[in-house]
Structure 1
Amino acid sequence: MTAISVGIAAVFLLLFAVSRRRDARRFRNGVFLLMAGGFGVVAAANVLVAAFPPLVFVFLVAVALVPLLVLALAVFAIANGVTMLRSEGRSLGNLLSLLVGIALIGVPLLVVVIVEAGRRSDVAALQDAAVGLGIVVVFVTGYAALTFAAFTLWSLVYARPRVREQPDALIVLGSGLIRGEVPPLLRSRLDRALAIYRATPEGVRRPVLVPSGGQGTDEPRPEGEAMAEYLIAQGADPADVLPETASRSTRENLVLSGRVLADAGRTGPTLVVTNNYHVLRAALLARDAGSSADVVGAPTAAYYVPSAFLREWVAVMVEHKLLNVLLVAPFVVMLASLLVYARL
């Protein structure tokens, strides 16, 4: 068992190393890293138990505590959801952590109800259907949990502060204004870009700053305009600030900012600046748009992070919904086939 776990962990670690070297802006990097770490932990646990048999009781206790851990996560998610609603207002995005907390408690209860209802039925087909539906719910929930864990893991790793090479341009992704002014969340992005801008070595051409964001329906002016004002007020040379004020989404931020840079003759390395929770999705969109830009993150208020990561994960899952359906569908088909075969 240990040798198998080590072998599988090594395969996933190799896949991670190759994939990351080819392009760090891939969601599958997180999947490979998570699987390598998971099987590595299993292998390490087997080695420790073989060397110190009494440790098996420690692991059994840890497994027994999993339901309590899930309950604790549910309580935390619900509390965070309430904080989000109070601090950020009512919206579907701000409800996500609350909904996840409810789901952590509700899904196990739902599975029990489904299976128990089938067990009480006198129709064999309904009994099988109930068991099958319960298994599907568990599988889909597990799939969602694993993809979220992989997304969060690689987001945190990828978002580590770094600048691999001197950028020729800095694109700062916009977010909502408050009464036409730059709020703290957006300010952290601009401050991160300014720090990189100011760190330009002596004798090296400074990067241009492209604050990117159009005007939302609830905003009195374009985000890029307010962001440009902030950058200049903080000491950026007005000649180095090239606002983009027409975009309505992250994808448009990247595409339209690229056009601004092309018009300005800035074709060197580009660095995109956003908040840490948004880094991986922005990198995925940059890659899909054919951009070679790398992405760095700025700090985010702690209470905002759980909902923000959930929102970004949901967005990535929706953007790749066909792939997710193709990954889940074979399991559902296989389960249905086994249930039918068992009744023949």
Structure 2
Amino acid sequence: MARRPRLPIVIFGARVRPDATPSRTLRHRVEAAAVFARECENPFLIPTGCARDGLPSEARVMADLLVAGGVAPDDIVMEETARDTLDSVRACSQILHDRGHVGPVAIATSAYHLPRCMMLMSLAGWKVIPVPPPPHPAARSLPRRWFWRLREVAALPWDALLMVVRRGHRPASRD
């Protein structure tokens, strides 16, 4: 019997703490992706995010968490160049194209960030599957939660415009 195509699960990064440990948000995104991956038949995970300020990359910190949680290193493909969400979409799309992937892509991130990530991956030409977001809010205080939500309100149309303009300079990905 033929093995089903691998399902990529892109885990969008969040900043690493100054002591090089994962932030609460980063930990929760990885946990949600790992839970989802355990329910999939043939997943591989793509943690994304670059290094900043001499700290390990967001992708490296997430990969370490995944391995500590029982994910096989061969099931992890790190993307360590992306500085923001749009960069992550473009870099992960390139990884997927390079691997010959043509199926859907699962998206793992925080609830407030999920609509933008899904929209950008869709604009990049992928069929997207939302990973159920972490059950914990990304920020503990209500003002901080509203800050992140309002930031997304501004970022979503801006990134969509940039994605469409940049896509005009390259062929769209395959479904």
**How does the TM-score come out when normalised to structure 1?**
0.41
SS in 2 for 1:276: coil
State which structure, 1 or 2, has the greater radius of gyration over its C-alpha atoms: 1
Number of residue-to-residue matches in the alignment: 151
Q: 2:44 aligns with which of 208, 229, 246?
A: 208
1:217-248 C-alpha deviation (Å, 9 max, x unpaired): x3512111111111001100111011110111
Give the equivalent residue in structure 2 for 1:197. Answer: 37
1:213 & 1:221 partners in 2: Cα distance? 10
1:228 equivalent to 2:63? Answer: yes
Change (3 A) 1:290 1:261: closer
Q: CA RMSD in A?
A: 2.2
2:160 & 2:104 partners in 1: Cα distance? 28
SS in 1 for 2:121: helix
Change (3 A) 1:174 1:319: closer
Q: Please show how residues 26-65 of structure 1 align to structure 2 within 5 Å.
A: none
SS in 1 for 2:109: strand
* Higher helix fraction (1 or 2): 1
Give the equivalent residue in structure 1 for 2:102. Answer: 267
Query: What code does the residue aligned with 1:168 have?
Result: L
1:180 & 1:316 partners in 2: Cα distance? 29
Which consecutive segments of 4 or more residues in structure 1 shift more than 6 A?
A: none
Query: What code does the residue aligned with 2:9 have?
Result: L
Q: 1:182 aligns with which of 13, 22, 31?
A: 22
Gap regions ≥5 residues in structure 1 = 1-165, 322-344
Change (3 A) 1:176 1:170: same
Give the equivalent residue in structure 1 for 2:85. Answer: 250
SS in 2 for 1:221: coil
Indicate conservation of the 8 Å contact 1:173/1:253, yes or no: yes
Indicate conservation of the 8 Å contact 2:30/2:66, yes or no: yes
Higher relative contact order (CA 8 A, sep 6+): 2
SS in 1 for 2:155: helix
Indicate conservation of the 8 Å contact 2:106/2:130, yes or no: yes
Change (3 A) 1:212 1:279: same
Indicate conservation of the 8 Å contact 1:181/1:226, yes or no: yes
Indicate conservation of the 8 Å contact 1:251/1:286, yes or no: no
Change (3 A) 1:234 1:284: same
* Higher strand fraction (1 or 2): 2
Query: What code does the residue aligned with 1:196 have?
Result: F
Work out the percentage of aligned pairs sharing the same amino acid.
26
Change (3 A) 1:167 1:270: farther
Gap regions ≥5 residues in structure 2 = 162-175
1:242 & 1:231 partners in 2: Cα distance? 11
